[in-house]
Structure 1
Amino acid sequence: MSKTRVPLTALLAAAAAITLSACGSSAPSAEKPAGEAELSTITAGSLTVCSDVPYAPFEDFDEGSELGYTGFDIEIMNAVAENLGLKLVVKDQGFDGIQSGIVLNSKQCDVAASAITINDERKANLDFTDPYYDSEQSLLVANDSDIASIGDLDGVKVGVQKATTGESYATENAKGAEIVAFPSDAEMWPALQAGQVDALLQDLPVNLEHTKDGAFQIVEQYDTGEQYGFAVSKGNTAVLDAINGALEEIRADGSYDKIYDSYFAVN
């Protein structure tokens, strides 16, 4: 039987090819680390946020910004989106549709950021992130008002926002008051200024914004133990976990504190 002689250079080349082939089959892709899955959002590459605007200082319109919106919630969510490698998109939605879960469950947005107090009723329709803000309720009146406390609201009109914890607190504690529910602060605040209601009962930071013109004052604050959370649709654990992770990271690197101090620090 004759033997075919194979050149040494050919043998070496074949061995190198086999080695490279074996390495290529076992090494993970350089484009995406092993085990890391891309976050699925309603629009690829974006984190879409629903918010009831205006509700300063948490969310407000800002024609001068790239987003068209500003506020504490908006800036925190922008930092979260950047941490996740996504672009933030903001949609203005009514609060009732947000807190009921309608806009999230119908996939109009990935997350709701709208000064939403975490409570058991809302947990039935939404999943909440870790709390990101502690809040109180408050009572706002004109400087020349005779109202000095919640006990003085008997027989007067008190403005609240529909479907909020402020409405619940007023209903339970403002005995004898005529509770007037508005869709948002955008309607409540002008109503107080025009004398259509005698007081506003709502979140402290929002009422504080209304004291800046010097004509109105906060006469009482109510420690209700409320905490705000960002909300996602029920069972959306991927987005929930991603946002919680991003919140933890922006707290650790100081980004959260920088944004918080720009809105709430006492000079």
Structure 2
Amino acid sequence: MGLSFVSRRVLAAGAVVVAGTLGLAACGTDNGGGSSASAPSEGGVRVVHPGKLTTCTNLPYEPFEFKEGDKIVGFDVDIVDLAAKKLGLTQDVVDIDFAVIKSGAAMAAGKCDVAAAGMTITPERKANIDFSVPYFDATQALLGKKGIGIKSLEEVKTKNLRLGAQASTTGLDYVRKQGFDPKEFADSPKELLGLQSGQVDVIVQDLPVVLAWLKKPEVADKFELLASLDTGEQYGIGLKKNADPALLKAIDEAITTAKADGTYEKLYVKWFGKKPGELG
């Protein structure tokens, strides 16, 4: 038997009240990333997803971050893991466009807690995001066809060679400041493909990435490291502007402790095959 009209009205009104209450509760805990960050983690920091330290990165960027089977691994992943374990959290890595990372938009929108993407600390980026203490001294490099006969960036210009660079990177910024207008590629795999397919003659990229490429026979057979460019760069772990001091402190302490107790050197040798200072 059906309910009377009055009974249906009463139940309907009650449902509206309950729904409204739930809606307000949800609005009160939404941080923009689709999950609650209303309570601190076990380590005393506020995170996008409870129990996790969510890291934004841009794949692949071997040996800093790349896929090995279904797992995302790399030097950056291991560095952030040190902080995650210190906080009693599990790291969760999210692949996202690098431009959205370096602008700070990804973290501001609650997509992640930190960013680890082989990201150089620059004044422009510091205007939008906070950085940890430096964890890697970076150098740019030139990769080109074997026998091309150049050993400097200047020779790229004098020989009128076509130069390529990855978009939104300090490598691109550096060669532009040297008077070049390189062809831009959306990510590092597309940049390498541009070289392999003859779209450009030489590319500029971070030295460790170039060295990782040269471990692949299909690259090493045809291409070689032409020159290293000492640009004085340092990588940092990125955080939202005006970051949670407890989270920033945990990351800084994890990096500093790792450098002091030998853990950093072990990770460096694991991913680069050399000790810090010996890379090139």
Q: TM-score surpassing 0.5?
A: yes
For 2:236, the equivalent position in structure 1 comes to 229
Q: Distance in 2 between matches of 1:145 and 1:194?
A: 16
1:180-236 Cα offsets, whole Å, 9 max, x none, are: 111110210111111111111111111112222322111111111110000001111
Residues 210-263 of structure 1, C-alpha deviations (whole Å, 9 max, x = no match): 222322111111111110000001111232112112222333333222111112
TM-score of the superposed pair, with normalisation by structure 1:
0.80
Q: Which amino acid aligns with 2:268?
A: Y
Q: Is the 8 A contact 2:138 2:233 kept in 1?
A: yes
CA-to-partner distance for each residue in 1:133-168, whole Å, 9 max, x for gaps?
Answer: 001111110113243321222333211111111001
Runs of 4+ in structure 1 over 6 Å off: none
Kept after mapping to 2: 8 A contact 1:131/1:229: yes
Which residue is 1:110 aligned to?
Answer: 113
d(CA) in 1 for partners of 2:75, 2:43: 30
Tell me the C-alpha RMSD between the 2 structures.
Answer: 1.8
Distance in 2 of aligned mates of 1:211 and 1:53: 18
Query: Is the contact made by 2:195 and 2:201 (CA closer than 8 Å) also made in structure 1?
Result: yes
- Contact 1:117–1:227 (CA under 8 A) maintained in structure 2: yes
Report the Cα distance in structure 2 between the residues aligned to 1:105 and 1:167, rounded to whole angstroms: 25
Q: CA deviation at 1:178?
A: 4.5
**Partners of 1:210 and 1:216 within 8 A in 2:** no
> CA 1:53 to 1:37, structure 2 compared with 1: closer, same or farther past 3 Å?
closer
Deviates more, 1:217-226 or 1:125-134: 217-226
Instruction: Report the Cα distance in structure 2 between the residues aligned to 1:217 and 1:83, rounded to whole angstroms.
Output: 41
Aligned to 1:22: none
State TM-score, norm by structure 2. 0.76
Other structure's SS at 1:245 match: helix
Instruction: Describe how 1:73-152 pairs up with structure 2 within 5 A.
Output: 73-152=76-155
Aligned-partner residue type, residue 159 of structure 1 = G
SS, match of residue 148 in structure 1? coil
The DSSP-based 3-state class of the residue aligned with 1:153 is helix
Return the alpha-carbon distance in structure 1 between the equivalents of residues 43 and 267 of structure 2: 29
**1:262 maps to amino acid:** K
The total of aligned residue pairs comes to: 227
SS at 2:249 equivalent: helix
User: Structure 1: which 5+ residue stretches go unaligned?
Assistant: 1-35
Q: Give 1:40 shift.
A: 1.1
Aligned to 1:46: 52
Structure 1 counterpart SS, 2:107: helix
Determine the structure 2 residue equivalent to 1:209: 212
* Residue 37 (structure 1) shift: 6.5
Q: Cα–Cα, structure 1 residues 140 and 37, in superposed 2: closer, same or farther, change >3 Å? A: closer
Amino acid at match of 1:40: R
Partner of 2:262: 254
1:266 — aligned with what? 274
Could you list the runs of 5+ residues in structure 2 that have no partner in the other structure? Answer: 1-41, 276-280
How far did residue 170 of structure 1 move? Answer: 1.1
1:166 matched residue in structure 2: 171
